[in-house]
Structure 1
């Protein structure tokens, strides 16, 4: 049974933008005294990127991958009034409410496929997780991986679940393979795909997936541009992910062939 909760904290200080991210995430401090990388609901892809980030991140944690803690960050509009940069000012203004934060790993370095650490089972789990959630953004060009404390950490799943940018045909999409896995940065190191698949099946049960999806704030599921009610949207995410996991043997075979 999945019974982990997501903490909610309040943003108290905007520290600095991370301009390497297209959606302009930032390092902020919150009222629990910790620093987080915040992903803003007012950025380009809106709450759908936050939904993908939360679901992908919690699934990664459930299968034993290193994943920074995720929190919901409440932001009030007062921060935009003291910001001099107009782009950041607008982002803060349009992000009032619940955003998503990830614990800031101070001193972490971007994963370099030529020199960085990635042991075979962890690499295999990342490859298959990305096949399940259709993560198009874990390539040599943009790894979305870190090395911290001599271990591999996964971050940034916001480009996953791209079916939800156009809900038409989501059932068909859930049954497809994921040919883009051939470009995955960890594919060559993923030599334990069968072992990883068995572990994922045991950990990502239907009950666990349903529990992870139930973490999604109703606020995100009823945001502007989403035309179904929150419970209907949760049902789609649950069915999509559970179907992908049920077809994991096919995805594993595809990854093996791509290697």
Structure 2
């Protein structure tokens, strides 16, 4: 089976530790056979593999841009795993997630980022806002920042709400060139004063080859589930086309987001 996983490690989940019930998809803290602890994202959860695809693509683009992201790994769940789990809801989730899932390193001791307590410099804030505009990530608000402070450094987590167009694939080519309307709610928008400079730098990094390589990491078995494509190759190419088109037209979302910031302040 081709998982296109040359650049990501694969681990075997050996112990389910505890659910993270604050997450809508009910991720869990789990231990793998490499002795590390991970936040495990299940393909059998409510949004299925699409949330894992968004997590993988979003996280690896963030890493390519130099932003701090915990390591992402493929996490394999054996069919016998979870048979002794007493919670029926969790047992059903584990059964539905047999096979390949996604996990990120658990940052033990980290704390949730609070914009009222910690100030982010303009360059970093602009980089994160630009990233979320690219990914159309609706989930980086004051209500749910999806950022952690770990050893006094800012780390990004949870990009599962990115690329939300892929839940229907309706008018996705048109959406690739549109502004990001949710930018006005971004937790770091007020500090994002260097969007134009970041735009120039990031467009040089995120070449079509770089984007294609990241999208190529998506396993075939996560594709073609509730999607209007004939082959996994066509499905994967649609993600790359969306992202490369959006990067080529980034001035549209940069201008709209800059205007939203001016209205905010």
TM-score, with structure 2 as normaliser: 0.94
1:152 equivalent in alignment to 2:189 = no
Query: Offset at 1:4?
Result: 7.3
Q: 2:28 aligns with which of 18, 21, 26?
A: 26
Per-residue deviation at 1:79? Answer: 2.1
Alignment partner of 1:141 is 2:143: yes
- 2:231 is aligned with 1:226: no
Matched, 1:38 2:40: yes
Q: 2:204: which partner in 1?
A: 202
Aligned to 2:66: 64
- Distance in 2 separating the partners of 1:227 and 1:78: 33
Conservation of the 8 A alpha-carbon contact between 2:72 and 2:104: yes
Moved over 6 A (4+): none
Give 1:101-112 correspondences, 5 Å limit: 101-112=103-114
Q: Following the alignment from structure 1 to structure 2, what is the Cα–Cα distance between the partners of residues 70 and 132? A: 20
Distance in 1 (alpha carbons) for counterparts of 2:255 and 2:107? 34
For the Cα contact (< 8 Å) 1:116–1:147, is it kept in 2? no
Give 1:238-253 correspondences, 5 Å limit.
238-253=240-255
SS at match of 1:81: coil
Deviations 1:81-120 (A, max 9, x none): 1100111011000000110000000111001010124222
TM-score, scaled relative to structure 1: 0.96
Corresponding pairs, count = 256
Measured in 2, the distance between the counterparts of 1:77 and 1:4 equals 24
Please give the alpha-carbon distance, in whole angstroms, between the structure 2 residues aligned to 1:33 and 1:117. 34
SS at match of 2:97: coil
**1:186 maps to which residue?**
188
The structural deviation recorded for 1:8 is: 0.7
Query: 1:168 & 1:257 partners in 2: Cα distance?
Result: 27
Q: State the partner residue of 2:83.
A: 81
Change (3 A) 1:163 1:131: same
SS of equivalent to 1:80: coil
Contact 1:117 1:152 in 2 (8 A): no
* Aligned partner of residue 122 in structure 1, secondary structure: helix
Partner of 1:100: 102
Q: Distance in 2 between matches of 1:75 and 1:144?
A: 26
Distance in 2 (alpha carbons) for counterparts of 1:52 and 1:130 = 12
Counterpart-to-counterpart distance in 2, 1:106 and 1:116: 19
Question: Which of the residues 114, 120, 123 maps onto 1:121?
Answer: 123
1:33 match: secondary structure: coil
Summarize deviations over 1:14-35 as a string: whole Å, max 9, x none.
1111111111100111111111
Corresponding residue of 1:168? 170
What root-mean-square deviation, in Å, do the aligned CA atoms of Structure 1 and Structure 2 show? 1.3
Structure 2: tracts of 5 or more residues without a match:
none
